[in-house]
Copies of this chain bind each other. A is one copy, B any other.
Amino acid sequence: MFRKKDIFFKVLLQMAELVDTAVRYFADAVKSDTLELDTFTKEMKKFEHQGDEYTHTIITELNTTFITPIEREDIMELIKRLDDVLDGIEACASRFEMYATNRPNEYIRKYGDVLRRSTQEIKSAVTLLTQKKLLAMQPHCVNLHELENEGDALMRDSIKHLFENVKDPIELLKYKALYERLEETTDSCEDVANTLQSIIMRNS
């Protein structure tokens, strides 16, 4: 017998895996010296569209399903927060094209690394949610908070370095905006942790 209510956990898990895949794609791409901009932005856009479809599925199911495994508003909040991470990493990618820059640097690689570790934690935590192992999610949420701190420290370092070394104002403007959007994406990962912790709090 197919249990209708399982669709929510299934799609939330698919979304968490998608977020992780998109971030890993980004982190790997920026390891090269020169980005192949066209492929890079197109691939990232595909991940974003897939995320919109998952979000749409969740909304449709919430409107037609009576019983949900956790509160409907928690499901809605969680899919939105996961979508914010996906939108964030896609927005970072699109900035390379907007700013006509195909040169990642060491700092961007470090952001990629923080984000990659963050989405792994997200994937682990959402997997545990779908197994109803709520308390086991807690350490992953703690790690996400620490990774956000790492992201914040990285932003300070990278922007300080920028103002000390880059004298071309337009170049400076570009990388400042890139770094800030990357750091904002680590904030979005932390927001997923906050949402998960609310779910733990209300369900245990």
A94 within 8 A of B: yes
Chain A interface mostly: helix
Query: Is A174's CB under 8 angstroms from B163's CB?
Result: yes
Report, as a range, how many residues of chain A touch the other chain. 20 to 34
Cβ < 8 Å to B, chain A residues 16-69: 59, 62-63
Closest to A100 in B: B163
Which residues of chain B are within 8 angstroms of A97 by Cβ–Cβ distance? 156, 160
Query: Is B164's CB under 8 angstroms from A72's CB?
Result: no
Query: Is A170's CB under 8 angstroms from B163's CB?
Result: yes
Q: List 10 A-B contacts (CB under 8 A).
A: A59-B197, A63-B201, A72-B201, A98-B156, A98-B159, A98-B160, A98-B163, A99-B163, A100-B163, A163-B170
Known pairs A100-B163, A169-B169, A170-B172 / 19 extra A-B pairs, C-beta < 8 Å: A59-B197, A62-B201, A63-B204, A76-B201, A97-B156, A98-B156, A98-B159, A98-B160, A98-B163, A99-B159, A99-B160, A99-B163, A100-B160, A100-B164, A163-B170, A167-B170, A169-B170, A169-B173, A173-B176
